[in-house]
Structure 1
Amino acid sequence: MSEIFVMYELDQPGAARSITGASLVEGRPVRCVHAAPAAPGSTTTPGPRTLCGKDTFAMMPSPGRPTDPDSSWYAAEYAQLVCAQCDAVMEG
């Protein structure tokens, strides 16, 4: 698989966090962590859909991208928030 972007699906401002201690991105709790391929013809822009098929338009890309093939594609602090469908594709 080529370039992968980690995408944060965010709750609305002021929403209760579903996971205690979940990190905030731009002051909003992260609801779910997805993976998305790069947009066609680009290595710097996420594509329009995640690997599970969700629209990336309203999602926030992670500031960093996975580079170490021996590490997980998502940050450890988000392990409880990872989309099971995206994770299955990444692991497969």
Structure 2
Amino acid sequence: MSEIFVMYELDQPPAVRSSTGTSPVEGHPVRRVHAANAAPGSSTAPGPRTLCGQDTFAMEAADWKPSEHPGSSWYTPEHAQLVCAQCDAVMEA
């Protein structure tokens, strides 16, 4: 299996953007956590679709890489309650 990327589906950005320089995830609550394969021919960029078929274009890739955490789940522990059930089912198969 290729590299798996953890993708954050974020809530809509606030009407007024902060100028504090926070990362996109810090400024916007995570709505759902998805998994995506690497883009074809790449190991450093997520592919265009999550494992459940959603477009990754408007999502943010997490710093968490499942391959760097053997024995752990594919998703970030702090977002365990927000995992996409369809992506999780594909990852378990």
Q: TM-score range by the shorter chain?
A: 0.7 to 0.9
Larger radius of gyration between Structure 1 and Structure 2: 2
CA RMSD of aligned residues (A): 1.3
- Among the aligned pairs, what percent are the same residue? 75
Structure 1 residue 85: Cα displacement: 0.2
Structure 1 residue 56: Cα displacement: 0.2
Structure 1 residue 2: Cα displacement: 1.2
What's the counterpart of residue 78 of structure 1? 79
Q: Which runs of 5+ in 1 are unaligned?
A: 15-23
What's the counterpart of residue 39 of structure 2? 39
CA contact (8 A) 2:64 2:75 kept: no
- C-alpha distance in 1, partners of 2:9/2:35? 11
Amino acid at match of 2:2: S
What's the counterpart of residue 90 of structure 1? 91
Aligned length: 83
- C-alpha distance in 1, partners of 2:85/2:33? 9
1:62 aligns with 2:62: yes
Q: Which runs of 5+ in 2 are unaligned?
A: 15-23
- C-alpha distance in 1, partners of 2:32/2:84? 6
Report runs of 4+ in structure 1 exceeding 4 Å deviation. Answer: none
